[in-house]
Amino acid sequence: MARLVMKFGGTSVADLDRIRNVARHVKREVDAGHQVAVVVSAMAGVTNTLVGYTKEAAALHDAREYDAVVASGEQVTSGLLAIVLQDMGVEARSWQGWQIPIHTNEAHGAARIERIEGETVIERLERGQVAVVAGFQGLAPDNRIATLGRGGSDTSAVALAAAIHADRCDIYTDVDGVYTTDPRIVPKAQRLERVSFEEMLEMASLGAKVLQVRSVEMAMVHGVRTFVRSSFDDPEAPQAGNGDLPKGTLICDEDEIVEQEVVTGIAFSKDEAQISIRNVADKPGVASNVFVPLAEANINVDMIVQNISPDGKTTDITFTVPQTDYDRARAVLESKASEIGYQTLEGTTDVVKVSVIGMGMRSHAGVAADCFRGLAEKGINIRAITTSEIKISVLIDSAYTELAVRTLHSLYGLDG
C-alpha cells in the first residue's frame, strides 16, 4: 500500500465526461489499496473567464477580491469530482485550500506556499477517505484566500505530497511523460523513463512546458518523487510501464538513475529578447548602471555578453530579457541613458534560446564543442552562450529554431 497524491490539470477535468474519467483513475488506485489525495485545477478555460470578469468589473481591482473570484474555479471542480467519486461508491470529500489549511505569504495573486498542516488530510486518508483538494489556492496571513499564480496547482500537489509524506506525486496531464524534446518538432523524440530533479528544473525553466518551475523546485527541496503521466490513458487498461511504475516519467533524485546519459534532452524557449548597448565607457560601475535599474523594475536578465573594443576604452554589452519585458526594459534603459553613457541601444525579439541539458555533462569533456561545431556546420550563428555544470544554452535567430533542435537532438544520439 502506498500514499499517493494525484493531480489533474484543466484539460483533464474540462467537462463532466473527463471528470468521470479522472474518477476512474482515482478509483483504480483506491481499489489497489492505496491512500489517495487528489489535487484538481479549474475546468479548462474557466480561470481565464474569471480573470476576464475581474478586469471587466474594474481595470484596477483589489487583489484580495481577485483571488476570491478566480479561486472559485477549483472549488467547483473539487466538488464535482467528489460527487462523481461518491456516485461510484468511493468515499470522498472535497477540501478548499483554506480548510486544510495551506498557508501562503501575503502576495495575493502570486502567493507562495509557506507551510501546510497535513494532519487532518492524513487522518482522513487513514480512515479510507479520498481527499479532493482544490489546487492553486491557500490561506494568506490576512485569513483570506490567496491564489498561487500560473501553474499553481502543480505546486499545490507537490507541497501537499510533502506535507502528508506521500510516496509519490502523480501529475496527470495531456502527454504521457517528459520527452527528450518537443515531439512536434522532432518526431523521433523519446519519452524519458527517469529524469533527475536538477535536469527537470533546467528543462522546465528553459522552455519545457510539462511542469511548472516552482513545482519542480519544491519537489527537489522536499525530495518528492514526482511522476508525469497521461490522464487520457484508459483507467482500466493494464498499467504497462517500466518496472514497478506505469507508463510515464519519474522525476527523482539522481541516485535513483542507474545509467546517466551525457545529454538528457534539448529544450528551447521562444520567450526571449536581446538588447545590446553599444560603445559604453569601459570603467567600473557601468554594468551596475545597466543592471541595477532593470533589477529594480523586476526584469530578469539571463545571458550576458561583454565585448571590449581594441583600444580598451569602450565596450558593448549584450544581454537577454523575457520577450514580455522587452519594451519595458528598453524604456528603463532609455531613462538612464545619461548615467549609462551608451552611444546606441539596439534590440530584437526575433531570437530563441536552445539548451542542451544533462547530468552526464559533469564528467564528459567536449559536449560544448560538439554543440558549437554541429550548429556551425548547419550555418547557424550563435549570438550568446551561457553554461552551467549540466546545461549549455545558445541564443540564435528564431528562424533556425527547428533546424537547431533537430540537429542537436541527432548529434547527441537522442533520436533512439
Binding site annotation covers 74?
yes
Binding site annotation covers 7?
yes
* DSSP secondary structure letters along 130-162: EEEEE-SEEE-TTSSEEE--TTHHHHHHHHHHH
Binding site annotation covers 313?
no
Our CA angle for 413, 415, 416, nearest 5°, is: 90
Q: Edge-to-edge strand order for the sheet containing 145-147?
A: 113-116, 102-104, 137-139, 145-147
Residue among 235, 214, 215 at smallest CA distance from 227: 215
In this structure, are residues 353 and 336 in contact, taking their beta carbons and an 8 Å threshold? no
Beta strand 272-281 with 249-252: parallel, antiparallel or unpaired? Answer: unpaired
Binding site annotation covers 302?
no
Binding site annotation covers 20?
no
Residue among 33, 30, 31 at smallest CA distance from 1: 33
- Residue 171's DSSP bridge partners are 7, 228
- In angstroms, the CA 136 to CA 286 distance is 42
Record the cell numbers describing residue 340, joined without a space. 549609462
Cis peptide before 141 (omega within 30 of 0): no
- In angstroms, the CA 320 to CA 27 distance is 48
Our CA angle for 126, 129, 132, nearest 5°, is: 120
Binding site annotation covers 353?
no
- Residue 7's DSSP bridge partners are 39, 171
Binding site annotation covers 391?
no
Helical (H) or strand (E) element with 104: strand 102-104
Measured CA to CA in angstroms, residue 366 lies from 237, 292, 349 at distances of 45, 35, 31
In this structure, are residues 230 and 176 in contact, taking their beta carbons and an 8 Å threshold? yes
Binding site annotation covers 10?
yes
Binding site annotation covers 247?
no
Binding site annotation covers 210?
yes
Residue among 101, 132, 172, 123 at smallest CA distance from 38: 132
In this structure, are residues 37 and 160 in contact, taking their beta carbons and an 8 Å threshold? yes
Binding residues for substrate: 47, 74
Binding residues: 7-10, 47, 74, 173-174, 179, 184, 209-210
Binding residues for ATP: 7-10, 173-174, 179, 184, 209-210
